[in-house]
Amino acid sequence: MLTMALFLAPLAIETRVTPEPAPPKPPPSSVAAEPADRAPESAALPEGAPFPSTGAGTWRVIPGASGSVAGTGAKRMTYTVEIENGLELPSFPHEIETIFADPRGWIGLGEVSLQRIDTEDPPPSFRVSLTSADTSRRPDLCGFEIPYDSSCYLVRDRRIVVNHARWVRGAHSFQGDLPGYHQYAINHETGHALGYGHVGCPANGAAAPVMMQQTFGLSNNYVAELNRAEPGAAAKVRADGAVCRPNPWVTAAS
């Protein structure tokens, strides 16, 4: 998988840098396939395809914007699709545009419309930047105090940092559904760009809200425990025992 430190740190990210000690070890990843009323899955990166862990620490804008506008909302937001130098993933830009054009996403609320651009003048409303795991972990980006790879949104740069390791491997909570995890990750971080923060699971067995930290898990108890590493964050998710089902979309939670 949206505590705010404007211009200094990521907004409502799924990992944060704090001086607190690391959280207790998570339960083993084997519980990922268990029903919603059982123990939560691990927040660790799943096994899977190899990926380069390092990049140059700079990004390039990928050209090829169609110029079309997704949605009819009065609030027009533009974005660039960027990839860290040293990484190659030709499918990334098209997948981002497809996710943003889906009516189950943020455009489905009827408040915002999204348009991909290739230029820096005028600058985009936000950037979607595929980023290597090592670069994502930098303290000035997503950090790694909670020791699990994740993506984040940087307020100061208006940048969605998409962790390449997660893009390749996904999360245990999505049980191998990699496209579904991609949809979730982009919708979740875009929610932060739109000003939304994290929420917990509303009821046992419900579809997880897109602003739940589903990268880490679907259990409020588990996510709240991990968030203890960030002062004040645990209060946002009540450890009430509720466990949700994975859900990648904004308007399709039911």
DSSP code, position 129: E
Task: Give residue for tokens 């209060």.
Answer: 235
> pTM value?
0.84
- Domains of the chain (ranges; CATH) run 43-236 (3.40.390)
Task: Please give the backbone phi and psi of residue 9, each rounded to the nearest 5 degrees, phi first.
Answer: -150, 165
Cα–Cα distance measured from residue 16 to residue 99, given in angstroms and rounded to the nearest whole number: 26
In tens digits, the chain (254 residues) has pLDDT values of: 333 333 334 544 443 333 333 444 444 333 333 344 444 458 999 999 999 999 999 999 999 998 899 999 999 999 999 999 999 999 999 999 999 999 999 999 999 999 999 998 899 999 999 999 999 999 999 999 889 999 999 999 999 999 999 999 999 999 999 999 999 999 999 999 999 999 999 999 999 999 999 999 999 999 999 988 876 565 678 899 999 999 999 997 65
Sign of the CA dihedral running 213, 5, 45, 130: positive
Tell me the sheet residues that pair with 243: 219
